[in-house]
Amino acid sequence: MRPVWILSSFCAKNETLQSFSANFHFEYEQLAADLSARLVESISEQKDLASDPECRPVLREILDTFVEAGWAGAQQLCFRLHEIYE
């Protein structure tokens, strides 16, 4: 069983990211894309967390933000996450 704070922390990071994206177009910054990709990768390495029904939409929302901005790394990570869910 995973600690509850991990998921709540992850969701809070997503809310911050979405707010910055809406207000400052944060998704077009290389550093933001790299850090977010590392965050999603670290979460996805924990299969029990990555497959959690509360976590999946958050992972997708973060990646969608950067995929829509055109970051190839986010697109590649989407394909790798698809493999985890199979």
**Grouped pLDDT means (10 residues each) for the chain, 86 residues:** 63 80 84 84 77 80 88 85 67
Taking the domains of the chain in order of start, what are their residue ranges?
Answer: 28-86
pTM of this structure? 0.74
Q: Say how far apart CA 25 and CA 64 lie, in whole Å.
A: 14
- pLDDT given at position 3: 56
